[in-house]
Structure 1
């Protein structure tokens, strides 16, 4: 199990499959570099970034889902650890940021949709909501997407949100983390914090 969480009450957690740009996004939010590897599965324990003077931590959870060169047992163990972490700290997590790859998310979701299979991204989105964790979907790498509105509408549809996506801007946030284009995410996170009377945390987003 993940044991190294700082003793902080309030938390924002980043979740998502491997190689969607979580660590890059974490760097944009915190201004602090973390180990990002070219190969999936580099982040194997949560990266926590806390401000000593604040009762607040941002956590980048390990990537889940298929990772080339990583055994299935190990992938399942990571996923189980993530699920337990989210369950254990659900009351502390003010906002979860589910990071997806805007370019490939729809294809991956559709490829894994079947009678016995729920795609990881969709499953995680509903799992977070079942835990009553306010969730923002950061749709990353939007610089590589041509038909942005259409792609975001399709994503809403897969997540069970009625399109058009623009009515869900407190949930769906198109970003390009590598270029520092994360304003939509910051706005969405602030909306969620405001709902919980935590405007004091705006300065981090």
Structure 2
């Protein structure tokens, strides 16, 4: 049997188009689970919207907030006519965000993570230029507690020199290996230059099997 090219399969998956179809601010407002969901989590201003736009090849699918920490809800994006849905989770850990928002992340978000039967993986985005923060470790622990498989994705890698990026990759990989729910492989991306986007699409496509 002829082997398939993961990069090409990932490209074809996201060439089907994408559309926003639902937003939920409460657990009761979540859509009925169907197909497969991949959620993106990360600190505010980590570049989630930019990465979603890069993955889908649509410039303005996910709105890039002018002020970090603006997203207060789960946003659902359907890829083609299914079965894949990308879920944009609210950013966490931004200093200007009110305490209620942080409680929401540990409330609604944890309920979503723990109780969503079709959630296949969380992609935990981390800015390659910034040191990991206590909030990042707290979310990794929440993912461990929720028993949800997650993979760290470094963003804004184009802003780093190769030596510094390699050091960052090694340190984050060591942190990931300490968490039972984490995959050992850390992905490196740039939503601005497109670096690593084809590989990330291929990883996501592999989760549909």
What is the TM-score normalised by the length of structure 2? 0.73
Runs of 5+ in structure 2 lacking a partner?
A: 1-25
Q: Is the 8 A contact 2:72 2:101 kept in 1?
A: no
Alpha carbon RMSD of aligned pairs, Å?
Answer: 2.5
Q: Does 1:64 align with 2:92?
A: yes
Q: What does 1:40-189 correspond to in 2, within 5 Å?
A: 40-51=68-79, 53-68=81-96, 70-89=97-116, 91-104=117-130, 106=131, 108-109=132-133, 119-146=134-161, 147-160=164-177, 168=184, 171-181=185-195, 182-189=197-204
What is the deviation of 1:153?
A: 0.7
Q: In 2 relative to 1, CA 79–17 (structure 1 residues): closer, same or farther, beyond 3 Å?
A: farther
Higher relative contact order, chain-length normalized (CA < 8 Å, sep 6+): 2
Q: Is the 8 A contact 2:152 2:176 kept in 1?
A: no
Secondary structure of the structure 2 residue equivalent to 1:48: strand
Distance 2:114 2:124 in 1: 15
Structure 1 stretches of 4+ with a deviation exceeding 6 A read: none
Secondary structure of the structure 2 residue equivalent to 1:23: helix
Q: Does 1:8 align with 2:53?
A: no
What is the deviation of 1:120?
A: 2.1
Q: Is the 8 A contact 1:101 1:139 kept in 2?
A: yes
What is the deviation of 1:7?
A: 4.4
Distance 2:171 2:81 in 1: 42
Distance 2:30 2:148 in 1: 21
Distance 1:140 1:131 in 2: 24
Runs of 5+ in structure 1 lacking a partner?
A: 110-118, 200-205
Q: In 2 relative to 1, CA 6–176 (structure 1 residues): closer, same or farther, beyond 3 Å?
A: farther
Q: How many pairs are equivalent?
A: 175
Q: Is the 8 A contact 1:35 1:43 kept in 2?
A: no
Distance 1:152 1:52 in 2: 33
Distance 1:30 1:52 in 2: 10
Distance 1:129 1:178 in 2: 31
